[in-house]
Amino acid sequence: MTHHIRVGPVACCILFLTFASPAAAQPPMSKEGPGVPLPEGWDYAPAMKKVAARFRGKEGVVVHLGGSMTIANPYGTWARSGKGQTAEDKAILKWMHTDAKDKSDGWWLCRMEVVPYRAHTAESGLKAAMLFDGGKRGLPTLEKILDEFHPCMVTIECGIYDIEDGTPLDDYRKNMAKALDLILSKGAIPILNTIPPFKAQLERTKQFNTALRDIAKERGIPVLDLEKEIFTRRPDDWFDKLMKRIHLTAGEAGVSPGAEPTPENLTRSGYLLRGWLTVRKIAEIKQRVLEEPRAPKLQPTLQKLETNRWIKIHEPAEGELTFRRQPHGGSCFDNKRGRLVLFGSDTHGKDFTNSPLYFDAASLKWSRAYANDPKESYQVTDDGLTVAGSKGNHPWAMHTFGSIVYDPKRDEMIVPIFDEHLIPGRFTDVFKDLWPRIKRKPTWIYSLDAANLPANPGSGSGQPRTVSSAGTPIVPTTASTRPWSCSARTKTATTWRSILRSRPNIG
């Protein structure tokens, strides 16, 4: 398969040269948006399908079990009346009986107070041991809650008060593991929330969350990783923006919990972030576990292709998203979602296209990962790595010359090249002040599963990349939890250096 884009100010047409009958594009695993829930690092669907097969309760009942961050009215604000709800959001909220205001409506059950600070399924100050002993304000035990409401899913937020009150980690781990096993035994799917960062005891919070991820992985259950979601969006300045002392922020940072879930708004209200991600996570689980696999999206034009002929399959109509042609760029095919991914720029000090560009082969639509970063944001770190963007989490615009590969096992695009066409005096002097500070030339890795989330570029420690016997690049699994990560090519990175040496000297 080859693509062609007309020279000029806009991307004009896509042509396919066929050599054999085309395969249908694979459907996307989940909806892409401004913060799709971070993947767990394991596939929960097989284990949860076995659990769901034992379910005998009422369809769509999702119980929200937790402490003060669950009983708080702002937690369910976006679900009940938030702005920017898509048709898919409205469908899953309807499935959850949202606003029924009865025992089938989990959002109502967790906020409607029975006594002050205690609702049907949530109580301020909840600790893990109370799931079995009952709450101090009368919250029933977990078993009684499950037997009364018969949920098909249970979100569980519990732990910040254990940290604050000094509960031993081993005791907390045992109680949470016991709670998850009880939920599973009832044929319900647990959705384990990690604990948001607790500034006063940050390291202890991280230890508790590591324990939560471990017990979730052991059981193959889904996780809404609130700690990572917060650190991903605001690595350094999350306090006061997404989290206060032991509670998420509501409108303190200028964004309400019911605001539209734009990338910016999701960095300025902790309750908006958790509420919106909870809705999306439930939709993801329902699709992957409870529904029959979706039929692949098909493109009629691609099904009728003749072999050994060039066929133009797309030309943008007026008003469609378009891009400039980048002859010095490269491409790969994301066969998990059925889309062409372009990355690379003409640079030469004039063009600064540094966002991956997507062409969906089924819908015949262009899209982009993010807006190009202005050249004023380009910088060199103290370690001598080139980074761009307001948070220093993107690569510079650069020639890639086709040196791009998609690794389907890791679901990542790998860019093993560093463009020297910006050397001062060669084509441009735009970065003449930055260039002497460059010490290492990074290999960039782009996680397509987390492609819409901001991230840190990595330490640039020069961790070697290796290649399997089949020639498939193998990279660390941590890269899958963030879009761009980079590793400086050092003397230890022999695999990538040998691959680069085999390339002709393109000038």
Pairing, β 310-314 against β 223-224: unpaired
Q: How far apart are CA 298 and CA 302, in angstroms?
A: 8
Q: Is the pLDDT of residue 468 over 70?
A: no
Q: 409-418 pLDDT, tens per residue?
A: 888 888 876 6
pTM of the model: 0.59
The identity of residue 398, as a single letter, is M
The full set of domains in the chain, from first to last, is 1-20+307-317 (no CATH), 45-290 (3.40.50.1110), 326-501 (no CATH)
Vertex 246 angle, CA 244 and 248, to 5°: 55
Percent of the chain scoring above 90 in pLDDT: 46
Q: Which residues, including other chains, have CB under 8 Å from residue 359's CB and lie 6 or more apart?
A: 3, 14, 314, 339, 340, 342, 365, 366
Vertex 315 angle, CA 313 and 318, to 5°: 150
DSSP state of 417: -
Angle at which helix 169-185 crosses helix 142-149, to 10 degrees, equals 20
Per the model's pLDDT, the better-predicted residue between 211 and 444 turns out to be: 211
Q: Is the pLDDT of residue 318 over 90?
A: no
CB atoms within 10 A of CB 502: 7
State the pLDDT confidence band at 5, using cuts at 50, 70 and 90. very low
Q: 479-499 pLDDT, tens per residue?
A: 333 567 665 443 333 222 223
Per the model's pLDDT, the better-predicted residue between 72 and 445 turns out to be: 72
- The reported pLDDT for the residue numbered 188 is 96
Three-state DSSP class for residue 64: strand
Dig out the tokens for 321 from the structure. 């998203």
Pairing, β 330-334 against β 153-157: unpaired
475 in Cβ contact with 393 (< 8 Å): no
State the pLDDT confidence band at 463, using cuts at 50, 70 and 90. very low
Q: 98-125 pLDDT, tens per residue?
A: 999 999 999 999 999 999 999 999 999 9
